[in-house]
Amino acid sequence: MSEEAFVPKEGFSYDKAEKAGRSARFKSYVTNLGIVRGTLDDGGSTTFVSGEKPTSGTAVSLGGFEQTVPKDDFGLSPLQRYTHTPEHLGALTARPNRALGTWVDADQKGDPQVFLDVSRVFKDTPRSNRLARISTVGSNQMGSFNLGTFTTEYNPLHPEVLSRVGGDVKLDEGESERYMTSEKPIGTEVVFGETTTPQKISRGRGRKRTTVQPGQGTFIFTGSDQMAPPPNTQKK
């Protein structure tokens, strides 16, 4: 849709305020369309109220504002309903570093959903990396997202995260505290622990799987690429 669609035909007079209103609505339409396309085509989007899309830093959901929409039903209308809700709009405009976050993931039944939430965007500095991890753990989020590297760092202190990366896992002593004080770039932190239930692993292509008993071997969690689908969606 072009901007002309929002401009009156010839012979129609309007004042500057009305023209500004039409331009604002056109800008909002373009921004929302970009969010929808980014979500469906790229798997997610992070956008400030101004329409700007941050290209650095870390996005962490605030918690309490999450909403899901089936992926097949997601479009301009569901997006506008979410952003126009007074509670959501208030959270988005409360601070300059607040942004609308969207991403695609499967629910417990394996159906693709679009998740909408209000995120806080932290700067790309060592101190902010530490604060982002503290915020992720404190708000019980499953992960944070590095906007510069497009990397998700999953929260190793979240029970569901640990269950999806290797079963029941107990982190080594001091790892929880070390993780929350780490200033490494988001997506690069590594934590260590051990499994508390038997784990079946492969020794290589074509070789039989072997069982590792609890407490044997070291569990290494990189936090970025070990997540399995929700339990009900894994192929048997």
Q: Please tell me whether residues 114 and 28 are part of one structural domain.
A: yes
Q: Please tell me whether residues 114 and 61 are part of one structural domain.
A: yes
The verdict on residue 55 lying in a domain is yes
Count the domains in the chain: 2
Q: Please tell me whether residues 23 and 108 are part of one structural domain.
A: yes
Q: Please tell me whether residues 160 and 113 are part of one structural domain.
A: no
- Of 105, 122, 139, the one marking the end of a domain is 122
Query: What confidence category does residue 236 fall into, taking pLDDT thresholds of 50, 70 and 90?
Result: very low
The verdict on residue 112 lying in a domain is yes
The verdict on residue 4 lying in a domain is no
Residue 13 has pLDDT above 80, yes or no: no
The verdict on residue 144 lying in a domain is no
Structural domain including 105 reads 14-122
- Of 122, 146, 171, the one marking the end of a domain is 122
Section 40-56 average pLDDT? 93
Query: What confidence category does residue 136 fall into, taking pLDDT thresholds of 50, 70 and 90?
Result: very high
The verdict on residue 139 lying in a domain is no
Q: Please tell me whether residues 112 and 175 are part of one structural domain.
A: no
Which residue, chain included where needed, has tokens 């997610």?
44
Sequence-ordered list of residues with C-beta below 8 angstroms from that of 159, at least 6 positions apart, any chain: none
pTM of the model: 0.74
Contact present, 89 and 177 (Cβ < 8 Å):
no
The verdict on residue 228 lying in a domain is yes
Question: What tens digit of pLDDT does each residue of 181-211 get?
Answer: 999 999 999 888 877 766 665 545 555 665 6
Q: Please tell me whether residues 205 and 113 are part of one structural domain.
A: no
pLDDT of residue 124: 95
Q: Which of 152, 52, 45, 130 is nearest to 96 (CA)?
A: 52
Residue 170 half-sphere exposure toward CB, CA atoms < 13 A: 11
Calculate the alpha carbon distances from 15 to 8, 20, 21, 22, 28 in Å: 12, 9, 10, 11, 20
pLDDT of residue 7: 45
Angle between helices 76-84 and 16-42 (to 10 degrees): 120
Q: Write down the H helix ranges in 97-221.
A: 126-138, 159-166, 175-180
Q: Which long-range contacts (CB under 8 A, 24 or more apart) does 77-81 make?
A: 78/114, 79/32, 79/35, 79/36, 79/116, 80/32
Q: Please tell me whether residues 165 and 114 are part of one structural domain.
A: no
The verdict on residue 48 lying in a domain is yes
Angle between helices 76-84 and 86-93 (to 10 degrees): 70
**Percent of the chain with pLDDT strictly greater than 70:** 70
The verdict on residue 149 lying in a domain is no
